[in-house]
Structure 1
Amino acid sequence: MNIHSIEMEKACAFFKKQLINQEDDIIHTFFGKLNIEKKTIYAISSDYHWLLEYWSSGLYKKIGQRISSGIKTWDHMDAEHRCVLKKNNIKYKTDITKNYGNIVDILSVATARSLKDEDLLSLYSKKPIISSISSSIWCKFNIPTLPLKGIECPTRLKPIDIEVKHECFQFGNIKFTCKEMETIHWLLELNSFKEIAWKHQCSQTAERKRIDTIKAKLNCQGFSSSALFIALKDNGITASCLKDYIMPP
């Protein structure tokens, strides 16, 4: 399948620029958000030509082998995966995968050396940030999903988890809903109103109302965004503290 497009090429180049501290040992970084039910995927790579190679070789049809949660290396994949690595002079490739029912996130890194436990922990901690950056770029460049025709995978993956009734977050006497916390999380990552509305799949008007509600709870309604950031910081709500909360993909 030929997936070449100018928009995708620009998106991949922009994605590469966001990975400012990418080590020399890292050959490329890929992130994909797969919808099992619809059999589509949002995809992006710091190496646009790798993305083209993956689809033109037909390897995408075997993506079902990569969707179970966990960490897996391509040297344990089938011969076709190893052949594509050899063709592209890649020694090691590692997937860090998490499934959320019908949605599967795949962070995949090609490297010049095998990864140690501390490397994997570092990459795993960066996955939510890379997911957020990727979503912003797909929105910015109007990147559509890619079809995954002919793939074989379960119609739905159910992760093993403990369900907890969790409807709000509390900071002192201030309570925020889950969606308000998501908005705060993305605001602190400097996403625009448009990008946050896209993530929530709602109108910009609805998202602005949600932000006004957040401001009202922080007693800074009617003030600028900088006043909101100051109010958040004064109440101990920072980007670093939000890493302790589980944010949806």
Structure 2
Amino acid sequence: MGRPVAFITGARRGIGKAISVSLAKKGFDLYLSDKVIDDDARQTREIVQSLGARVEFKELDISDLSCHGPAFEDACRRFGKVDCLVNNAGIGAPSRGDMLEVSEENFDQLIAVNLKGAFFLTQQAGRYFSKFPKQDHPRSIVNVSSISAISASITRAEYCISKSAIPMSTKLFALRLAEYDVAVFEVRPGIIRTDMTQGVTALYDELIAQGISPIKRWGEPEDVGRVVAGLASGDFEFSTGSVFYADGGMHIQRL
């Protein structure tokens, strides 16, 4: 039986890096991508290789839809197949501020990466899965969204909007791809310690201390990586279309 293959976007650091490591530990070979290949990307590649994974790391801007087809074809050519797509690549709001002042440029950029790019790369994966039957491993698509998909933050309106459509996209693709034995999931992280949250550490330290989540600590990228690895491994394929939280219970409504 061959090793399963995962295609991961936004893999060079943070949550993407942790997902890559978790999948390597599960026995996956990895086709990793990010907008740039730098020292962070090279370090991630070295780590997953040390865990026994075959790995390719390619430059990919998911907001450029013309790159999606060639990238997927390249992954299949190098590894012979793709069993799992992890839509992890994403960007935060360029700055926090009054939503009455959000620019069209910033809005379009967030939609292009966080929503449009993920949707059309998933479409590319779906077309591939529809043409080729499942081989020897479960097949899945995992969308990494954010607690901001359901929690409104008026200082990051464009970011919240870009993430809020991921839940519906997950459900739609789960329905469309079920006939091809492809499970589709959403993983919804909470407050995770990454470069994206580094600039607001003091704010989140205070919110965590005040009990914004029942588990009073920062989430780590590895908390998300382990969830994704479990989903990609086929442990929850009957739960297609579901949301899996990695937020310390932040989503739980309380009185």
Global fold match (TM > 0.5):
no
Structure having the higher Rg: 1
Higher helix content, 1 or 2? 2
Provide TM-score, normalisation by structure 2. 0.31
